[in-house]
Amino acid sequence: MMAAERGAALNTLDAYRRDLEDLSARIAPRGRDLQDATTPDLEAALTGMARDGLSSATAARRLSAAKRFYRFLLSEGLREDDPSARLSGPKKGRPLPKILSEADVDALFRAAADRPGASGLRDRALMEILYAAGLRVSELVSLPLAAFARAEQCIHVTGKGGRERLAPLTEAALEAVAAWREVRDGFLPANPAKRAKASRFLFPSKTSASGHLTREQFARILTDLASAAGLDTSKVSPHVLRHAFATHLLANGADLRTVQTLLGHADVSTTQIYTHVLEERLRTLVETAHPLAKR
């Protein structure tokens, strides 16, 4: 149902599968499976999550998956009640996104520029596109060659839920991609069938089943770059760079709606987590520009 009727992305389906499998494993010792679980079974599972040190966000997500699962069972006539109906997830705060400073990002780019050979050209292109367009890592690694549009000034991105957007690229990103394309064929598999599959992607891989660079492979590349740049590798990830993209745009004058569009957020409320940057900029503006601040 999630795939066929709601068009959920593969990553979303995988997340639901993992959450429901974890719930099922926690309920099994009580002698019931997930489909037949009672409200006390679910309460015990949530208690077990807290005891095991799972974050409130993880527990809330798993309860949300359960609620959708039981609504589905009800609609299909497979249950007559919803054991999750009166349950509420643990309270969770909304932490500010982890970001890198502009100096940190510059250090990462210098590290990428210093990498030799064809792999260095690939790594620079990956970094330039990621930071220029604020892509999710899954969007970045699976970019097809056909993503380039409008004389290659933009890339066509298919994001969560199949939503499409155009992401403009900087001149530096376009130059990095052009240099990478000169050596890209060396990263294609030798096997004809695998080569045909991988050739569709901007960042092909000889080893991945998908034909393109995997999220894990890119995460390792980014960790290597962070180490070479002298940064704390535990604080650098693809999503942290996406946060940095949004935060730096806002800090330099972009409005929230523009950032929402560039990030591919369906609702501006998702983008509002970055308003701490706007608030800081407004506070600084008042302190430096307001007439009373000068008295």
Out of 68, 71, 160, 195, pick the active-site residue.
160
The answer to whether residue 131 is catalytic is: no
Closest CA to 137 of 197, 204, 214: 214
Cβ pair 104, 231 in contact under 8 A: yes
Out of 62, 194, 197, 265, pick the active-site residue.
265
Cβ pair 274, 247 in contact under 8 A: yes
CA 251 to chain CA centroid, nearest Å: 21
Question: Which sign does the torsion angle of CA 225, 12, 23, 240 carry?
Answer: positive
187, burial (CB in 10 Å: exposed 0-12, middle 13-18, buried 19+): middle
The answer to whether residue 239 is catalytic is: yes
In this structure, what DSSP letter does residue 6 have?
Answer: S
Strand order across the 164-168 sheet: 148-149, 154-158, 164-168
The answer to whether residue 274 is catalytic is: yes
The answer to whether residue 265 is catalytic is: yes
The answer to whether residue 248 is catalytic is: no
Out of 61, 62, 124, 136, pick the active-site residue.
136
Out of 6, 32, 220, 239, pick the active-site residue.
239
The answer to whether residue 194 is catalytic is: no
Residues 6+ away with beta carbon under 8 Å from 238:
130, 136, 137, 140, 215, 218, 219, 222
Residues annotated as catalytic are 136, 160, 239, 242, 265, 274
